[in-house]
Amino acid sequence: MLIRSKAPLRISFAGGGTDVPPFQEREGGCVLSATINKATYGTLRPRSDARIAIESVDFGLRLIWEAGDLVYDGKLDLVKAAVRKFWNTDGAGYALFLESDVPPGSGLGSSSSMMVTLVGLMKEYRGLAMNDYEVAHLAFVIERRELGIRGGMQDQYAAAFGGFNFIEFEKDRVVVNPLRVSRQAINELEHNLLLCYTGMTRLSDHIIEDQTIRYEQQEERTLEGLRKQKVLAVEMKNALLHRRLDDFGSLLHEAWASKKKISPRISTERIDELYEAAMKQGALGGKIMGAGGGGYMLFYCPFEKKHAVAHALERLGAAPTSFGFAFEGLQTWQVPEAEANQNVASLAAPPASVQGTEERRLDPALAAAAVRAPIPPASGPA
């Protein structure tokens, strides 16, 4: 029996940064976000030995360990941390096959989505009953506390719950408020929003660290930017629920202006160039996804001008892409072996010649193919 799981990626409209400690602990944060039909995927297949095998398409790595040899060494540490959290002494090994619709460092919350996917696999394998809050919290604990990866809390909760959410972060509590956005507003958003890959991935650790230092030092611009993000998250939520979508687009511009105040590392010359080009062609607003520095940008455009915005971005070497919204969060299911795709068969059987750890780089074309994989239609599950 195979176990599979998937968790959606997200776009964040406003409030990013307010979910990052210590701001979230001291002043409380809130984020307006929605999940999209790009996702992370995982498969778990039991093995006949006690080894743990992991194959990651995104990083082009295949690793095999004895269970007791799982150490953090910079190679798939995110996966190792999930395995260690759920490991028991029953001596049963398994193989994991992992992939994502976007490259790492996209700004769409892919690492946290993958952690939620992993928690989904592990809880299903171990037969544990966990609700969405528990899944999201455990994913946060593993990623941020066990591994010490700097960042906020919004991505784990978005991936676990799915849909449009207004998420509130307090010192000891997170509240996910699902939003009943009308189908007409969703259709219009899908018509008018444009997601664009800048061509650069980024590591958010240094940006988050800089934000934290500036907040601790009570820098005026950082405080202003973070507090304005909270105000704009509420205003954008209200505009969305009342179908004032042009106002929503203009508020997205304000959200970007306030986000840049949080840290000078959030934007770059490249990002500013793309943003200026989009606005000149009629976009009402936009922002970088995630912490900043690279990855994907999001723009709100009147539909009649969306093609001109896309062409302007393409001329600058960026890659606009279509997307739809997804309304399911984490999904897990089981597949009888006879019905399963055999794409992880090589990991299921114990290798005859391996002693200790095996590492094999995957074909780069395979990794690229995963990134270019067709996106499912907006009406289907994420």
The H or E element spanning position 304 is helix 303-315
Rg (CA), the chain: 21
Kindly report each contact of residues 369-372 with a partner whose C-beta sits within 8 Å and lies 24 or more positions away, as own/partner: 370/57, 370/58, 370/99, 370/100, 370/101, 371/58, 371/100, 371/101, 371/102, 371/103
Beta strands in the chain (DSSP E): 2-14, 29-46, 51-56, 61-66, 94-100, 164-169, 174-178, 193-197, 285-288, 296-300, 319-321, 331-335, 358-361
Beta pairing class for 51-56 and 94-100: parallel
Extract the tokens encoding 207: 């940006």
Cis peptide upstream of residue 377 (ω within 30 degrees of 0): no
Give me the residue label for tokens 């976000």.
Answer: 33
For residues 60 and 361, the answer to whether their CB atoms sit within 8 Å is yes
> How many Å apart are CA 96 and CA 74, to the nearest integer?
18
> How many Å apart are CA 188 and CA 228, to the nearest integer?
26
Query: What are the DSSP calls for 185-220, one per residue?
Result: HHHHHHHHEEEEE-S-----HHHHHHHHHHHHTT-H
Active site residue 69: no
Comparing C-alpha atoms, which of 309, 304, 302, 316 is closest to residue 278? 309
> How many Å apart are CA 283 and CA 274, to the nearest integer?
11
> How many Å apart are CA 183 and CA 246, to the nearest integer?
17
Beta strands in 233-324 (DSSP E): 285-288, 296-300, 319-321
Active-site option among 90, 132, 155, 205? 155
Give me the residue label for tokens 């809050």.
Answer: 133
| Catalytic machinery residues | 155
